[in-house]
A = this chain, B = another copy of it.
Amino acid sequence: MRNVEIIGYGSYVPEETVEFDGQIRHRVPKGSSVTQISMAVAAAREALAKASLDITDIDCIVSASAVDHQPIPCTAALIHEQIAKGTDIPAMDINTTCTSFVSAFDVVSYLIDAGRYDKVLLVASEKASVGLNPKQKESYELFGDGAAAVVLSKCEDDSAGIIYAKQMTWSEGAHDTEIRGGLTGMYPDVYSECPEEFCFDMNGLKVLKLAGRKLPGFFKGFLSESGYTMDDIDMVVPHQASKALGMIMPLLGVPKDKYIDIVPEYGNMVSVAIPHALIWAIKNGKIKKGDTVLLIGTAAGLTANALLFKY
């Protein structure tokens, strides 16, 4: 076990909502001054407060988002500017699209376990609404904006830590989910010639088919390698990929009462979906200290990521 503990957490969702057939999505309205970076900062400040820490207690700032505010500098440096200017805390981005938080949690745990960093601020933030294509009903009605952050700390004993983690990527799906141009700093209509190239483009059925074919084997391998069974797991926090969650979870053998599904309330918040659902579950008493928790999801790529940890 890599002895890493979540000692603080915070999330931000825009107040403004839109509704599609009773499904609520939180989205920053166009023209608002709220950016991907300001949402990240709000979540980070809540996480620091919860951990009773000041930013100067943090040894590294990691941004774990799918889409960035702008190409240069990296998103972590832009978050640093709002929350850590004047310090010399290193800032870094780690990206596996929708599962970036899982990958970053996983990767950073090695650095914490080895003593490189003691406390790491991990932030996912997305302004998915910038790049939605009204002509693609499925994805247009699915995504939401927001941010989620955790403070990770070395845990001195085995009371918390990462038990097992695994990632796989199958690039047959590389173009089933994509955005070909642009980022979140500007809306696509400033690019007048081919705005759709700057919008989210998803072939949901192809993604679902590929995920349905790959995920059960991936998860079976994960469980057998970890030495854990579903009975040993207290709660599953899946990527809130779509309304199909209720179809995918049984395929993996996850019982109905053992996973978080807040798609009706929040939709798919891209890389924010997993940490936001994790924090939601903690805040709502669905996950308690000492629980064995599984984070699992797929990302554009197609990538699958799973991480089992003791909270």
Contact = CB atoms under 8 A, between A and B. Distances in A.
Contacts of A111: 107, 110
B114 A178 contact: no
Contact of A180 (B2, B70, B80, B179): B70
A42 interface: no
Contacts of A93: 93-96
Contact of A91 (B85, B94, B169, B191): B169
Contacts of A174: 73, 77-78, 80-81
A33 to B, nearest CB: 16
A113 B77 CA distance: 28
Contacts of A172: 85-86
A187 to B, nearest CB: 10
A261 interface: no
Nearest to A110: B110
Interface in A57-81: 60-61, 66-68, 70-74, 76-78, 80-81
Interface in A27-81: 60-61, 66-68, 70-74, 76-78, 80-81
Interface residues of A, number: 67
A183 interface: yes
A72 B72 CA distance: 16
A66 B61 CA distance: 17
Interface of A: 2, 60-61, 66-68, 70-74, 76-78, 80-81, 84-97, 103, 107, 110-111, 113-114, 116, 131, 167-172, 174, 177-183, 185-186, 190-194, 197, 200, 214, 218, 299-301, 303
A171 B80 contact: yes
10 nearest A-B residue pairs (beta carbon) = A191-B191, A90-B167, A81-B171, A73-B300, A77-B301, A88-B168, A110-B110, A93-B95, A91-B169, A80-B171
Given A169-B80, A178-B70, A95 B95 contact: yes
23 contacts: A60-B167, A70-B181, A71-B182, A76-B96, A77-B303, A84-B169, A86-B172, A88-B170, A88-B214, A88-B218, A89-B168, A90-B167, A90-B169, A91-B301, A92-B103, A92-B167, A93-B93, A93-B94, A180-B185, A180-B186, A181-B186, A191-B191, A191-B193
A179 B71 contact: yes
A177 to B, nearest CB: 6
The CB with the most chain B CB atoms within 10 A, among A84, A96, A194, is that of A96
